[in-house]
Structure 1
Amino acid sequence: MPESAATAARDILTGLHDIMAGRGSTQAKLDRVVDLIAESMASEVCSIYVLRDGALELYATHGLNKEAVHVTRLGLGEGLVGTIAEEGRILNLDEASSHPQYAYRPETGEEDFHSFAGIPIVRREEPIGVLTVQHEDTRKYLDVEIEALQTVAMVLSELLANAGIADGTRGRNRETGAQRLAGLKLVTGMARGKAVFHQPKVTVEHTVAEDTEAERARVYAAFRKMREQIDHMTRDAEFGVGGEHEEILETYKMFAYDEGWSRRINEAIDSGLTAEAAIERVQQRTRARMRDIDDPLLAERMHDLEDLSNRLLRIVAGRVGTAAQTGLQEDTILIARNLGPAELLDYDRRRLKGVVLQEGSLTAHVTIVARAMGVPVVGRIEDIRHIVAEGDTILVDGDQGIVIVRPGRGIAATFDQRMATSQKRREEYAAIRDKKAETRDGTRVTLMVNAGLADDAAMLDASGAEGIGLFRTEFQFLVAATLPGRESQLKLYREVLDAAGDRPVVFRTLDIGGDKALPYLMDEKDEAENPAMGWRALRLSLDRAALMKAQARALVEAAGGRTLKVMFPMVSEPWEFEEARALFEEQVEWCHSRKRMLPTRIEYGCMLEVPSLAETLDILLPQLDFLSIGTNDLTQFLFAADRAEPRLAERYDWLSPAILRFLKRIADQANEAGVPVRICGEMGGRPLEAMALIGIGIENFSITPAAMGPIKAMVRSLDAEKVRKKMRKVLAKPPRDVRRSLTDWAKRQKVDLG
């Protein structure tokens, strides 16, 4: 195998170019292709599977039994080849038979081969085949070999498409009647307009370059034009001053100027690809990384690069850009797979009424920018681009996470009425923004917000929050290309405290690792089968003491002359808290010895997310100044239900007796010990759940800014003593459906549930 991926790919591409340009049938060409790849990679087997009539058919092979060609067929999701095609991901295995999806096909004779690597062959974002290599030795293929195969797969995509032998993009019968689609609430609000598709996909038609230097010049010119566009958009964005969107746009701009990205595209051109193919090749690598990232914040960095790649590809191909460049002619609902943070800035805000995404998340950069623009967004509408036709009437309900396509007259009239009601509701929330969260019988409830950026603190007045109950310090690490130093951390923490003024800020120490892996920090040994319960959060910080010492010193110095509130995540046993606190105190002494200004007071708390900690609260509580309960992680650990698993997303109810009893036991112990207890997590941001929590003795919440209005309205309509009595009955003898029981009770008591 040649020493570099570029050299290996170039050698193969040269041969592929000759094969594609020569005479002969598609079968003859593919037979020559597998021979070429096997010889160039010194691999004993190379095979091409083509998607035909819904199954992956062995179409050509070097090394397997020739009798299996056009005989062996695997369905999507069946065997290793079917898994690669269905999931669109690469498999690189040292022992193929050990993989759970391995399916033995005796007619192929593949039992003699151990190592296996498979690459999806993709056309217009749909699988049309799979390229595989196998070897007798038990070994994984090197990264340079995998990259060479990825490049080859792009050329094969062109060959198969031109030959017309693959299924290609699987057609769907588009519905013509009204459809109601449920998705994820991203930005609240309601909107009505005509469907417009954001981005015409640029399909790379020619992959093999004739003149490498000419292709490089085209890419350089496209980079210059793209960067000019980004500079113009970020400079002229009309948001007003302040807001986290500004920081996100600056990070996006930084990616546009990233030399590492342009270098990877240049390396792909060196391998013999055209400018378009080189951009697509690097983009495929980004998509592969996105699929392996569970943490939404880290994945969002990859989405930014995806967006920039699309923009660069359109420029270099000389294609008309997004729908924004053609101009919106009427009130519009934008339809897209996903959007980068700057994409919305291209559009006329007078015409853009709403956005529907096939992907999207609450922490997505486009979500934050859309919120700043006041554009409602619903995400996670599967297959939306095949359900909707250009020009269809779309109703977007960002409050409910509902999209209605091609509504009838009656549905549209009802929606318009609800839009008016929703606007009135937002005005009501705004009217109580500066009022206290106090129940009808005088119980005071503290409402704070969760945050992760300096600008979040500047927005406290707008939300009416009493402070920041959870500042996620890891966000700074997730958006950085390298490990943030103590000085940059110090600057951020000081900005947050300055912006918050007299209002409290609770800093949570780093919660990274597991599904929030940082490429610049994690090693291969850090990977885990179950990252949520692995080496992460405080476990990682205690193991890498230098990391935690730098953060501790930055927090201590930033809080000089004021109160510092710090809490540690994922504490499982009291000794972990004690060790973390001791480490902080060491840094306090260090700062004192250097005559640095110290905090007037340091309050230490911890997150209760691991159920084991509840069994040792009697040991821990005397050492705590406050306790925060992370309901998201706690729920998945209590029920052994991974919250990232969609099949379990709605199965375990926060209002189940198991959770409520568990939380009441914690609240009772904390209250008896005189330690304030706060709910941090989505549970506290839902009116019915928050009502139940007040009923079991929890009166402090840290929630999203969007939840402030509904929760405060609920609190001000509630009689705390009555709900306490109700909850005592519910927990003593739980009804079959706790949620329905509490909902019916709240209606009778005229509790405002929004």
Structure 2
Amino acid sequence: MTAAASARQILTRLHEVMASRLHAQAKLDRVVEIVGKSLDSEVCSIYLLREGMLELFATRGLNKSAVHVTRMAIGEGLTGTIAANNETLNLAEAKAHPDFQYRPETGEEKFHSFAGVPIVYHERVVGTLCVQHVDPRKYEDVEIEALQTTAMVLSELISNAELVDEEDARGLSGAQTGTQNITGLALVKGLAGGFAVYHQPRITIDHIVADDIEAERQRVYRAFDKMREQIDNMASQAEFGVGGEHDEVLETYKMFAYDEGWGRRINEAIDSGLTAEAAIERVQQRTRMRMREIDDPLLADRMHDLEDLSNRLLRTVSGQLGTAASQGLRKDTILIARNLGPAELLEYDRRRLKGVILEEGSLTSHVVIVARAMGLPVLGRARGIRGIVRDGDQILLDANQATATIRPSQQVADAFDTRFEKSREKQAAYAKLRDVEPFTRCGTRIQVMINAGLRDDISALAMTGADGVGLFRTEFQFLVSATLPQRERQTRLYRDVLEAAGDKPVVFRTVDIGGDKAVPYLQSEQSEHDENPAMGWRALRLALERGGLMKVQARSLLEAAAGRELHVMFPMVSEPWEFDAAKEVFEAQIQHMRKQKKHLPDTIRYGAMLEVPALAEVLDLMLPRVDFLSVGTNDLTQFLFAADRANPKLAERYDWLSPSILRFLRRISSSMVGHQVDLGVCGEMGGRRLEAVALLGLGYRRLSITPAAVGPIKELVRRVDLGEITEAMTGWLSDPQTDLRKNLQEWAAERGIETD
């Protein structure tokens, strides 16, 4: 018997139980027997939420005397963990799980394997369905899917029989009143205020079991056609130009909309006897399970895109087409969503949409690319926000501090408004410095450049008056593409960037992928097992191994910069021979293009990122080879301190203003004396005012920073006397005090220099 036929048999028998005249308890007793026998599982149990506790309502295999006696708190034991996290568990050995709790009254000591799924009603967990087996084994995917389908049917039974109090369900959701503060991950920085609007109105699935399978299949086919038409229209109407990274994001999104495998899985769920809506939800549950198992952030983000499309398909097939976007925003809005696809964000009225808060989301997610281009602050990883925020609640979003205040008091709102206005005044003051060159008080010209990664970022040059792009991250095009970007597409991007920059220089860093920026089409055996990806098979290491990758990028950059000056920088250089090997790739392409009589750049300047500490030990060998050197403070700091910057416990532990990092940076600067090599810093350190003061005192004269920091740093430069700060830094580093940051703050305060 096929998996679909087996599932259909279970559904048919469950449907018969639901339609019978048995009372609710008897129906639950019959359900556990059907599921247990169908899965050849000695135990099948149903726990339902009652008075804030999960109560054993029915069981096959455990002691019957435990029914209505055994109770678990939310988060207690395996059953409580399923309810608390709204997730599936599938364990070969239940006792090995840290949340396992033994209940002697159930007689479960002889059972080893355990699987359980949440029973969800109106997006709220109202119970759990669990199976156990004597032999230690993981349940097969088809068995887990049968459990999840049964849980969907049970939610309908529970609702009709009023077995769970609505108040209990609300209590589990944690809905709150009064002022609440939430924290998350700043995905796009900025301040915004508005009223909460949920991106996705709740879709209620009233019918689980299909009466006519073929009719349900046709409904899904029609919904797919309609959804694909919508996606095609949105892609063609995107307002970010033709051929840019945003188009590539939408192309990846579109790829999922036409994915045959997704449609096939929904068809299989319909074959098992589910309605179109239930089948889509069934496949979506499976997607969520896979998302929790994915460590690769890029792949996880693509699974989010698929979930976004599932929601769109579900709305289409159910006839409940209205998202908050289609219904129209009536006032300043902070949008709330579990996750958001890039195409869906583009549907919103930009005059009303002020900010976004996501339950999930990551810095590499596709929606962040679009939100940044739209100038929308975004807060991600806001866990549990659905239980805190109600539709229409006032929200003050501070993505600079990665926080949001829900239902603020008038005093808090007034303080935020004052801060918001002060921020706008500061930005206006910084904007006036756009055409002012940043000279220090002693008359030294400091170069202030921007870091970029998107074509649209180049517009910040004109807005801020920056001297150029000190770091253009070429890997972004690779991260948002489903396949390796072709040479023509790379060339078009680089040419567009150079044309947009005009006569200002752009330093292109060759691709830095691999490690924690993995792409599925460039996986290698080495990178798959990196226990510390930041120090793994990435950046120049990967590019030199994949010779074709670097050749294509070299050719694209050379063609794009024809008739111009080209600045190329190689990332994560550890030894001089790596720089030589990378430069040789470019030189070989130059010779090839000359033979073909292709137009070449007028000048090529080669540089390296100094982020691996080993390179500092061979600077005497490196400096004759390079035209410029950029210190990458983000990676350099984590390598020096052996501290993973992605680890929240370590993120704030090691200070950029500690004597060890500052002495290291001074040693690099001192090594440059007598060499005609430009030295700069690119990284977050240079964009922070107090840290920038320290860098100026160490001899750094070029800072490449985020566009938002250009105005504040230009204003700062004009207040600093290099002689004074150099003398102060020399003294502090000769005999370091406990808190060098405090020394710098006092020095700045004495001179009326405002710090961060």
The TM-score bracket by the shorter chain reads 0.7 to 0.9
Is the alpha carbon distance of 1:411 and 1:723 closer, same or farther for their aligned partners in structure 2, counting shifts above 3 Å?
same
Q: Is the 8 A contact 2:196 2:390 kept in 1?
A: yes
Are 1:318 and 2:316 counterparts?
Answer: no
Correspondence 1:506-521 to 2 at 5 A = 506-521=507-522
Residues 189-234 of structure 1 show CA distances to partners (whole Å, capped at 9, x for unaligned) of: 5544444443322243433322222222222333344445445556
Give distance in 1, aligned partners of 2:42 and 2:624: 66
Is the alpha carbon distance of 1:41 and 1:520 closer, same or farther for their aligned partners in structure 2, counting shifts above 3 Å?
farther
Give distance in 2, aligned partners of 1:24 and 1:507: 72
Which residue identity is paired with 1:464? G
Is the alpha carbon distance of 1:744 and 1:586 closer, same or farther for their aligned partners in structure 2, counting shifts above 3 Å?
same
Once the two structures are overlaid, the 10-residue window that deviates more, 654-663 or 177-186, is 177-186
Residues 347-389 of structure 1 show CA distances to partners (whole Å, capped at 9, x for unaligned) of: 4444444444444555554445445545555555444444344
Are 1:742 and 2:756 counterparts?
Answer: no
Are 1:445 and 2:443 counterparts?
Answer: no
Once the two structures are overlaid, the 10-residue window that deviates more, 699-708 or 633-642, is 633-642
Q: Please report how far the alpha carbon of residue 746 of structure 1 lies from its aligned counterpart in structure 2 after TM superposition.
A: 1.9
Corresponding residue number in structure 2 for 1:706: 708
Is the alpha carbon distance of 1:259 and 1:427 closer, same or farther for their aligned partners in structure 2, counting shifts above 3 Å?
farther
Q: Please report how far the alpha carbon of residue 292 of structure 1 lies from its aligned counterpart in structure 2 after TM superposition.
A: 5.0
Is the alpha carbon distance of 1:613 and 1:81 closer, same or farther for their aligned partners in structure 2, counting shifts above 3 Å?
farther
Q: Is the 8 A contact 1:311 1:321 kept in 2?
A: no
Corresponding residue number in structure 2 for 1:13: 11
Q: Is the 8 A contact 2:472 2:508 kept in 1?
A: yes
Which residue identity is paired with 1:732? S
Residues 305-334 of structure 1 show CA distances to partners (whole Å, capped at 9, x for unaligned) of: 333332332232233623344444444444
Residues 483-542 of structure 1 show CA distances to partners (whole Å, capped at 9, x for unaligned) of: 334443344334334443443333333333333333344378814554444444344444
Are 1:690 and 2:692 counterparts?
Answer: yes
Is the alpha carbon distance of 1:23 and 1:233 closer, same or farther for their aligned partners in structure 2, counting shifts above 3 Å?
same
Is the alpha carbon distance of 1:645 and 1:264 closer, same or farther for their aligned partners in structure 2, counting shifts above 3 Å?
farther
Residues 101-133 of structure 1 show CA distances to partners (whole Å, capped at 9, x for unaligned) of: 666778878787777665555455554555566
Residues 106-162 of structure 1 show CA distances to partners (whole Å, capped at 9, x for unaligned) of: 887878777766555545555455556667777766655655555555445545555
Give distance in 2, aligned partners of 1:543 and 1:112: 53
| Matched residue SS, 2:497 | helix
Q: TM-score, normalised by structure 1?
A: 0.83
Q: Is the 8 A contact 2:90 2:115 kept in 1?
A: yes
Which residue identity is paired with 2:436? K
Give distance in 2, aligned partners of 1:749 and 1:125: 57
Give distance in 1, aligned partners of 2:16 and 2:213: 17
Corresponding residue number in structure 1 for 2:208: 207
Correspondence 1:29-428 to 2 at 5 A = 29=27, 33=31, 36-37=34-35, 40=38, 86-90=84-88, 119-129=117-127, 150-159=148-157, 168=169, 170-171=171-172, 176-179=177-180, 181=182, 184-185=185-186, 190-230=191-231, 248=249, 252=253, 255-292=256-293, 299-319=300-320, 321-361=322-362, 364-397=365-398, 401-428=402-429
Once the two structures are overlaid, the 10-residue window that deviates more, 578-587 or 56-65, is 56-65
Which residue identity is paired with 1:17? H
Correspondence 1:402-551 to 2 at 5 A = 402-457=403-458, 460-522=461-523, 526-551=528-553
Residues 455-508 of structure 1 show CA distances to partners (whole Å, capped at 9, x for unaligned) of: 334553334333333333332232222333444334433433444344333333
Is the alpha carbon distance of 1:76 and 1:409 closer, same or farther for their aligned partners in structure 2, counting shifts above 3 Å?
closer
Which residue identity is paired with 1:223? F
Give distance in 1, aligned partners of 2:417 and 2:254: 39
Which residue identity is paired with 1:723? I
Is the alpha carbon distance of 1:95 and 1:26 closer, same or farther for their aligned partners in structure 2, counting shifts above 3 Å?
same
Give distance in 2, aligned partners of 1:266 and 1:524: 35
| Matched residue SS, 1:722 | helix
Give distance in 2, aligned partners of 1:19 and 1:333: 45
Which of residues 670, 679, 687 in structure 2 aligns to 1:668? 670
Corresponding residue number in structure 1 for 2:648: 646
Q: Is the 8 A contact 2:125 2:172 kept in 1?
A: no
Give distance in 2, aligned partners of 1:98 and 1:623: 57
Give distance in 1, aligned partners of 2:679 and 2:149: 55
Is the alpha carbon distance of 1:727 and 1:122 closer, same or farther for their aligned partners in structure 2, counting shifts above 3 Å?
farther
Q: Please report how far the alpha carbon of residue 257 of structure 1 lies from its aligned counterpart in structure 2 after TM superposition.
A: 4.8
| Matched residue SS, 1:450 | strand
Aligned length: 752
Residues 29-71 of structure 1 show CA distances to partners (whole Å, capped at 9, x for unaligned) of: 5565555555555667666665666666676666777787777
Once the two structures are overlaid, the 10-residue window that deviates more, 28-37 or 626-635, is 28-37
Once the two structures are overlaid, the 10-residue window that deviates more, 189-198 or 239-248, is 239-248
Q: Please report how far the alpha carbon of residue 433 of structure 1 lies from its aligned counterpart in structure 2 after TM superposition.
A: 2.0
Is the alpha carbon distance of 1:469 and 1:391 closer, same or farther for their aligned partners in structure 2, counting shifts above 3 Å?
same
Give distance in 2, aligned partners of 1:62 and 1:397: 52
Residues 241-266 of structure 1 show CA distances to partners (whole Å, capped at 9, x for unaligned) of: 99865665565455545555444433
Residues 658-694 of structure 1 show CA distances to partners (whole Å, capped at 9, x for unaligned) of: 3333333334335565543433332222222222222
Q: Is the 8 A contact 2:451 2:471 kept in 1?
A: yes
Q: TM-score, normalised by structure 2?
A: 0.83
Give distance in 2, aligned partners of 1:107 and 1:250: 56
Is the alpha carbon distance of 1:429 and 1:671 closer, same or farther for their aligned partners in structure 2, counting shifts above 3 Å?
same
Q: Is the 8 A contact 1:447 1:703 kept in 2?
A: yes
Q: Rg: which structure is higher?
A: 2
Q: Please report how far the alpha carbon of residue 278 of structure 1 lies from its aligned counterpart in structure 2 after TM superposition.
A: 2.5
Q: Is the 8 A contact 2:593 2:600 kept in 1?
A: yes
Is the alpha carbon distance of 1:318 and 1:188 closer, same or farther for their aligned partners in structure 2, counting shifts above 3 Å?
same
Q: Please report how far the alpha carbon of residue 726 of structure 1 lies from its aligned counterpart in structure 2 after TM superposition.
A: 2.8
Q: Is the 8 A contact 1:677 1:698 kept in 2?
A: yes
| Matched residue SS, 1:741 | helix
Give distance in 1, aligned partners of 2:617 and 2:550: 27
| Matched residue SS, 2:285 | helix
Q: Is the 8 A contact 1:514 1:531 kept in 2?
A: yes
Corresponding residue number in structure 2 for 1:629: 631
Once the two structures are overlaid, the 10-residue window that deviates more, 729-738 or 174-183, is 174-183
Give distance in 2, aligned partners of 1:98 and 1:608: 46
Give distance in 2, aligned partners of 1:116 and 1:509: 49
Give distance in 1, aligned partners of 2:29 and 2:105: 18
Once the two structures are overlaid, the 10-residue window that deviates more, 695-704 or 84-93, is 84-93
Q: Please report how far the alpha carbon of residue 432 of structure 1 lies from its aligned counterpart in structure 2 after TM superposition.
A: 1.6
Q: Is the 8 A contact 1:11 1:40 kept in 2?
A: no
Provide the aligned C-alpha RMSD in A.
Answer: 4.3
Give distance in 2, aligned partners of 1:112 and 1:585: 70
Task: Report percent identity of matched pairs.
Answer: 64
Are 1:731 and 2:733 counterparts?
Answer: yes
Q: Is the 8 A contact 1:57 1:72 kept in 2?
A: yes
Q: Please report how far the alpha carbon of residue 709 of structure 1 lies from its aligned counterpart in structure 2 after TM superposition.
A: 2.1
Give distance in 1, aligned partners of 2:120 and 2:516: 27
Give distance in 1, aligned partners of 2:548 and 2:476: 19
Give distance in 2, aligned partners of 1:39 and 1:643: 51
Q: Is the 8 A contact 2:124 2:173 kept in 1?
A: no
Which residue identity is paired with 2:678? P
Give distance in 1, aligned partners of 2:507 and 2:725: 29
Q: Is the 8 A contact 1:239 1:373 kept in 2?
A: no
Is the alpha carbon distance of 1:279 and 1:539 closer, same or farther for their aligned partners in structure 2, counting shifts above 3 Å?
farther
Is the alpha carbon distance of 1:43 and 1:199 closer, same or farther for their aligned partners in structure 2, counting shifts above 3 Å?
same
